[in-house]
Amino acid sequence: MTKDIATPGRTREILEKYGFSFKKSLGQNFLIDTNILRRIVDFAELSNDTGVIEIGPGIGALTEQLARRAKKVVAFEIDQRLLPILADTLSPYANVRIIHQDVLKADIQRVIDKELPEVSDIMVVANLPYYVTTPIIMKLLEDHLPIRGIVVMLQKEVADRISAQPGTKDYGSLSIAIQYYTEAETVMTVPRTVFMPQPNVDSAVIRLTKREKPAADVVDESFFFQVVRASFSQRRKTILNNLTSQLPNGKQRKETIERVLAELQLDPRRRGETLTLAEFAALSNRLMDVFNEKA
């Protein structure tokens, strides 16, 4: 078996060979602990019939571990300087395909159709660049891709927000958006010492298992998310204040909003962070009905 990429010595050797310097703007922090990488792969529960989508492979440390257990790995890398390094480090693995593209601009469904037509199971596994974690996860979910789930390393603070429950300080529109599509759990925390260079934050690995259908019945998803974002726009304000100040024509519709809250037995003095996903679904569905009646 080839020598693991994810050791401090081998990582340094690869970086020196190619004269590679880290770009802060791309959030590059490479993992140098093979045990942690193997545990990340364990959490993804891969089989030899799994296709994996990876984002930001770096010098291939996680890619290598994935390639040893999956049928095929398709990795998106935005930094052109890493392409020759990946061609070298991953040369022992015929089941890896590197795509030089920004995943946020990619048509991932097309890539799946082209690169993973023969797999029956697809997982996303990645050590995500921290500055674009949320947009990447939301794109993966909103594109309604045929994936079983997502296992990603991200900033611990973001992981806490994703898996937060109502009534906690971390609970917000991000928690609701992701829990609407998936079951979210933080499976591991990761110290900053296992990265090169060391980030100034701690990390966590989160596993998102896609729900067969969303967590609540919502008439209009975009309006549901609009109501959720409005409710959290100023955390100290009540739900009534936030909805009237943030929803389109909210001030003119204040009485209507009050009536809907009363109808659903939601105290207008509650704050957004105390409402459950199901309560938000009921609220957005009813507001949608009433606003359409008045239109």
HSE-up of residue 243 (Cα within 13 Å, Cβ side) = 27
Question: Any known ligand binding at 31?
Answer: yes
Pairing of strands 149-155, 195-196: unpaired
Question: Any known ligand binding at 56?
Answer: yes
Q: Fill in the amino acid letter for 247.
A: L
Sheet holding 72-76, edge to edge: 96-99, 72-76, 50-55, 121-127, 149-155, 203-210, 182-190
Q: Fill in the amino acid letter for 202.
A: D
Give the separation between CA 231 and CA 97, rounded to whole angstroms: 43
Contact indicator for 183, 70 with CB cutoff of 8 Å: no
Give the separation between CA 246 and CA 45, rounded to whole angstroms: 42
Residues of the binding site for S-adenosyl-L-methionine: 29, 31, 56, 77, 102, 127
